[in-house]
Amino acid sequence: MASYDYDLFVIGAGSGGVRAARIAAGHGAKVAIAEEWRVGGTCVLRGCVPKKLLVYGAHFAHELADAASFGWTVDGARHDWPTLIANKDRELDRLNAAYMRTLANAGAELVMGRATIADPHAVEVDGRRITARIILVAVGGWPWKPDYPGIEHAISSNEALSLPEFPTRIAIAGGGYIAVEFAGIFNALGAKVTQVYRGEQILRGFDDDIRAFLAKELTAKGIDIRLGVKGEKIEKTNQGLHYHLSDGEVLDVDQVMYATGRKPNTSGMGLDVVGVALDENGAIKVDADGRSSVPSIFAVGDVTDRINLTPVAIAEGHAFADTQFGDRPRQADHMCVPSAVFSQPPVATVGLNEQTARAVGHDVAVYKADFRPMKYTLGDNGERTLMKLVVDRKTDKVLGAHMVGIDAAEIIQGIAIAIKMGACKRDFDTTIGIHPSAAEEFVTMRTAVA
């Protein structure tokens, strides 16, 4: 029997990789994990966590504006961008240290440096060759930008999280969740925001009613959404940047941010050398257990380009470790995964949207509630909330729940449990609502829309 340095070697210390390493070590495996920068991955260092902290910071602008209607006098309020960034960085330092302690406490060895695959059972880290019975790739994804003149002057979400100076004029290219989230952040903090998207509506893949409703709310808050256009050139000037659009218009801005997608971070890893099959986007092809075309090499998380969400990567890493090292064979469940967009107002969703439900053959009944939240009734804040249920007429099963509005993520998380369990519309109807709350609208919608 072959002898290896480790039972498991993980490449990438993000959410999925750390979970896999920790659980495998807890099962008694000898584990090492490599990271070339800091422990925590995209979510902790360049994504969900710092972005949500900036969303919190930006939303105080709305809270301050609403305070007067409740009798508060707020004089001299102003925002200091460097303070927000410094405090955010301090929290990331704390999380990085916590992740390192988690690995150490679990008994997994952290190897700092860039790891590449040398053969099906070996990696190289800064010239050091390390062998393992199983190799797990969990290197995530990286922002993608198009190639055209001046693109080197554009930033991605990575840089947007740590800008030394606040941009008073910014163009954001893209229509996905990252684009709309940053549009909301910069807009609320006082920037003039232009969002440029080549598609017909933002948030492709979400329910059409949700997409249109959010676009209307973002526009009402002052975000200039340009649909059906894209950037073609960026010129640097003494006053900022000239951002040339495909319709001939030139925007004068301080920053151009691209949020036009991410690609699996597989380049230069040696995967091609050992024969690991990749798809056309560079993602590692895996089976339901996370195994690649090379039996000893597995992958979890965004590098597989399945459902690119942190909790999914964690679930995949945990299932992998239980199966390979814990004698508890199981697979991560990718069905009915809830998700949220921390736009302003936020979006949350679980299950099928109306268009998909119809496309796959369901006879659909739709229930909707569109209202002004109670919180805003004393003032002149015109923000509205939309809730929607998609129901199969024949079985009464709730196929999907969708929301735009205050606390959408918090509300949909609970509803996701019900939908995951197969709840029917009658279950919603017989549940007593919590009054007064926005969430009660999900159990008081009685009449299907035409």
H-helix or E-strand spanning residue 18:
helix 15-26
Spatial separation of the C-alpha atoms in residues 264 and 200, rounded to whole Å: 26
The answer to whether residues 177 and 203 touch, using CB atoms and an 8 Å cutoff, is yes
> Residue 136 is encoded by which pair of tokens?
């797990």
Residue 236, Cβ density class (10 Å: 0-12 exposed, 13-18 middle, ≥19 buried): exposed
| Amino acid (1-letter code) at residue 418 | A
Distance in angstroms (rounded) separating the CA atoms of residues 213 and 387: 10
State the angle between helix axes of 310-325 and 15-26 in degrees (0 to 180), rounded to the nearest 10.
30
Q: How far apart, in whole angstroms, are the C-alpha atoms of residue 282 and residue 266?
A: 6
Active site residues: 435
143 φψ region: left (φ > 0), alpha (ψ -120 to 50), beta (else): beta
Contacts of 142 (CB under 8 A, 6+ apart): 262, 263, 265
The DSSP bridge pattern shows strands 128-137 and 141-143 to be: unpaired
The Cα 439–Cα 436 span in angstroms is: 9
Determine the number of helices (DSSP H) and then strands (DSSP E) in the chain: 12, 21
